[in-house]
């Protein structure tokens, strides 16, 4: 077997697992019914992963009592809201999961504390009085001892309900990510002077009392794992520390993390599910594409030397060779989060040598954590994630010949989905390669999964028998010769251009990424959206000196335009690499090797060998307009319909294709 270590049997306590793979816990926000139970969509979501060789599923976080902070009723499941209803909604799900030899733990949380998004909860609590993570003016009051002790009992009660529901164990969401209970554990947040503050033992008292209570109520053999962040990775409140950056740890450092782990294991925890970070360094807990694979390997390796319980480890482990190699040194169980959102069959595919069929996670967060305020967790590249039974592709009743024009993400997804439905599909691409804007977008090493997505689609189209015609420039006359029943236009977009006063000719970012133009040592880049900032980061990593100009007051579209973890990390990387940022700035003139900009009342001269523009894209819909007057039904999808991101190109294509 290629990855033999991954597929060895193992144990957590006395619970046997068929292999060393785990589905990482990811918040099921929006998947709770009105009784606090699992909706059918959530049940199907977990069963779908159990079907494909996952050894252990750890559910997304469930509240032990939504009244503690006043969670919305349908925010996340809660075993204590209506215990009988919770049992009824999960017992049959667990039977289905067990049919595949998979085990499942229910993850339990006490709440958000200062990490709550403003307005999400009704009662703002924290270990000590302090400002909210996102809005310091929003004050969280100190929890009372009575409230704390009631919360501990709700953890125990929730574990009892979980056991009755057929869960094989529970995971406590306690010393992790800067949520409420982790705030008790970290001195920068906890200024209490009672039994829940001060010494490390006191700050961990809630977490240790919880596991002791659960073991007493459910039995010593009922497994209890702990979601555990070894290190906080924060320089200060609301300021993360980057990988490789030299800084003084403001939260829990590694030394204290080791000591805390020993205390927690001695209290009775059977496994540590390890990561790093807090909401103040949120990108550590939800690693964007800017991290390399194996984010937490070094932390797991440290803990393996100090505790004798299994280490579960996630952190961009979607390199099976690496994951197989670190078992035994960095971890005992490999945990997959977003890879299982992107492809529920991930574990099966690595087990049976089908790695070239894996649909990759891009690290974009657009479909998962980036949308939980507006909708349930899903996936940018897998539109059926979280709605497996109600939104899958069904066989078409009438088989048609579908002509897809354009080989970018929208065209590729249209072709794939139509072929799965049973249609005959021909895809025509005017260039010599599939991928569209994914090709330049995937040039920076930190975006290599964009290219992996192209490879996935190319493999799928081959397996599905889609006829792919490259170097085919489509016109309405050419299209009519294919004899198609339906035409789907996915011709993408073109980069917007600008001209400036002076003699320096601007170059579109795409031409730089595709190496169609040379880059000098001093770069001025106009446009601080995502493409512009990522291009600037890439060029800086190549040794160039870069200044970014942005006409608006904010880079990256301002607060909330990107998922927070991606935004925070990219902003920190820009600062770390000393990339110049000039907002509310315009170019007055270019001359020789100088760009003169106007910023408020000031004019500034910037050295410039290369002037790059990245100011957005225009829909390229000329072919759609031509074909719309014909006799064949025609649809427009992707950027040629409306310029957006990869997720919406794929989601819109999937929605269209499954209904053709």
Contacts of 166 (CB under 8 A, 6+ apart): 90, 91, 94, 95, 98
The pTM of this model reads: 0.95
pLDDT at 120: 86
The pLDDT of residue 1 is above 90: no
Pairwise CA distance, residues 587 & 517, whole Å: 22
Tens of pLDDT, residues 426-451: 999 999 999 999 999 999 999 999 99
Tens of pLDDT, residues 218-240: 999 999 999 999 999 999 999 99
Pairwise CA distance, residues 365 & 362, whole Å: 8
pLDDT, averaged across the chain: 96
- Structural domains for the chain: 10-371 (3.20.20.70), 401-495+618-657 (3.40.50.720), 507-615 (3.50.50.60)
pLDDT band for 154, please (50, 70, 90 cuts): very high
3-class secondary-structure state, position 350: helix
pLDDT band for 425, please (50, 70, 90 cuts): very high
501: number of Cβ within 10 Å: 11
The pLDDT of residue 628 is above 80: yes
Q: Mean per-residue pLDDT for 272-286?
A: 95
* Active-site residue, selected from the candidate residues 179, 189, 279, 456: 179
Report in angstroms the alpha-carbon separations of 6 from 13, 54, 315, 615: 19, 11, 16, 45
Dihedral sign, CA of 520, 523, 529, 535? positive
Q: Which strand (E) or helix (H) includes residue 191?
A: none
The pLDDT of residue 373 is above 80: no
3-class secondary-structure state, position 21: strand
> How do strand 239-240 and strand 224-229 relate by DSSP bridges?
unpaired
What the block records as the tokens of 543 is 């040794």
Pairwise CA distance, residues 335 & 589, whole Å: 53
Pairwise CA distance, residues 538 & 574, whole Å: 10
Q: Mean per-residue pLDDT for 175-198?
A: 96
Q: Mean per-residue pLDDT for 574-601?
A: 94
pLDDT at 392: 94
Tens of pLDDT, residues 6-59: 999 999 999 999 999 999 999 888 899 999 999 999 999 999 999 999 999 999
* Size of the chain in residues: 660
pLDDT band for 73, please (50, 70, 90 cuts): confident
Terminal alpha carbon distance of the chain? 41
209: number of Cβ within 10 Å: 18
pLDDT at 371: 83
3-state secondary structure 574-630: HHHCCCEEEECEEEEEEECCEEEEEECCEEEEEECCEEEECCCEEECCHHHHHHCCC
β-sheet bridge partners, residue 339: none
The pLDDT of residue 374 is above 90: no
How many C-alpha atoms does 595 have within 13 Å on its Cβ side?
A: 28
Percent of the chain with pLDDT over 90: 94
Task: Please provide the DSSP assignment of 143-174 as one string.
Answer: PPHHHHHHHHHHHHHHHHHHHHTT-SEEEEE-
Tens of pLDDT, residues 87-130: 999 999 999 999 999 999 999 999 999 999 898 899 999 999 99
pLDDT at 74: 76
Asked about 179 being catalytic, the answer comes back as yes
Tens of pLDDT, residues 477-497: 999 999 999 999 999 999 999
Helix 564-576 vs helix 530-541: crossing angle, to nearest 10? 40
């Amino acid at each position: 077997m290629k990855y033999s270590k991954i597929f060895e049997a193992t144990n957590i306590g006395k619970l046997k697992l068929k292999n060393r793979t785990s589905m990482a816990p990811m918040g099921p926000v929006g998947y709770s019914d009105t009784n606090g139970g699992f909706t059918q969509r959530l049940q199907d979501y977990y069963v779908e992963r159990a079907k494909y060789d996952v050894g252990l599923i750890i559910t997304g976080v469930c509240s032990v009592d939504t009244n503690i902070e006043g969670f919305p009723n349908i925010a996340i499941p809660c075993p204590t809201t209506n215990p009988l209803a919770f049992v009824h909604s999960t017992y049959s799900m667990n039977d289905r999961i067990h049919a595949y030899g998979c085990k499942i733990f229910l993850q339990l949380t006490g709440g958000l504390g200062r990490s709550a998004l403003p307005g999400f909860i009704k009662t703002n609590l924290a270990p000590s009085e302090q400002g909210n993570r996102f809005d310091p003016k929003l004050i969280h009051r100190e929890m009372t001892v009575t409230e704390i002790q009631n919360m501990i009992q709700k953890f125990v009660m929730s574990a009892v309900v979980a056991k009755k529901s057929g869960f094989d164990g529970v995971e406590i969401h306690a010393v992790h990510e800067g949520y409420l209970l982790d705030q008790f554990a970290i001195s920068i947040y906890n200024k209490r002077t009672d039994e829940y503050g001060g010494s490390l033992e006191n700050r961990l008292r809630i977490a240790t009392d919880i596991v002791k209570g659960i073991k007493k109520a459910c039995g010593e053999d009922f497994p209890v794992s702990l979601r555990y962040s070894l290190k906080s990775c924060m320089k200060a409140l609301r300021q993360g520390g980057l990988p490789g950056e030299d800084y003084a740890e403001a939260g829990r450092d590694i030394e204290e993390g080791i000591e805390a782990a020993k205390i927690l294991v001695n209290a009775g925890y059977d496994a540590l599910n390890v990561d790093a970070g807090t909401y103040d360094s949120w990108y550590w807990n939800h690693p964007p594409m800017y991290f390399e694979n194996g984010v937490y390997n070094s932390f797991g390796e440290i803990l393996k030397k100090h505790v004798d319980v299994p280490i579960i480890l996630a952190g961009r482990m979607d390199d099976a060779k690496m994951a197989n190699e670190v078992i035994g040194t960095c971890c005992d169980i490999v945990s997959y989060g977003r890879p299982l959102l992107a492809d529920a069959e991930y574990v099966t595919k690595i087990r049976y040598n089908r790695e070239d069929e894996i649909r990759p996670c891009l690290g974009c967060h657009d479909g998962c954590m980036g949308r939980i305020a507006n909708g349930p967790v899903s996936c940018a590249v897998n539109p059926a994630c979280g709605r497996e039974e109600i939104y899958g592709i069904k066989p078409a009743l009438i088989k048609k010949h579908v002509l897809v024009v354009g080989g970018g993400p929208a065209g590729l997804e249209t072709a794939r989905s139509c072929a799965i439905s049973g249609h005959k599909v021909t895809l025509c691409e005017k260039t010599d390669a599939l991928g569209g804007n994914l090709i330049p977008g995937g040039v920076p090493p930190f975006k290599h999964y964009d290219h992996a997505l192209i490879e996935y689609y190319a493999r799928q189209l081959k397996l599905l028998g889609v006829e792919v015609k490259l170097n085919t420039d489509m016109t309405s006359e050419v299209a009519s010769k294919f004899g198609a029943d339906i035409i789907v236009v996915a011709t993408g977009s073109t980069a917007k251009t600008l001209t400036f006063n002076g003699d320096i000719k601007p170059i579109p970012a795409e031409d730089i990424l595709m190496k169609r133009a040379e880059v000098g040592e001093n770069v001025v880049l106009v446009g601080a959206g995502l493409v512009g900032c990522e291009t600037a980061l890439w060029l800086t990593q190549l040794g160039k000196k870069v200044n970014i100009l942005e006409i608006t007051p904010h880079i990256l579209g301002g607060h909330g335009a990107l998922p927070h973890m991606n935004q925070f990390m990219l902003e920190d990387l820009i600062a770390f690499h000393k990339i110049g940022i000039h907002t509310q700035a315009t170019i007055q003139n270019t001359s020789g090797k100088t760009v003169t900009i106007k910023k408020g009342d000031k004019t500034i001269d910037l050295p410039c060998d290369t002037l790059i523009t990245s100011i957005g894209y225009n829909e390229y819909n000329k072919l759609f307009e031509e074909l719309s007057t014909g006799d064949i039904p025609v649809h427009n999808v992707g950027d040629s319909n409306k310029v957006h991101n990869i997720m919406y190109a794929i989601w819109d294509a999937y929605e269209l294709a499954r209904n053709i």
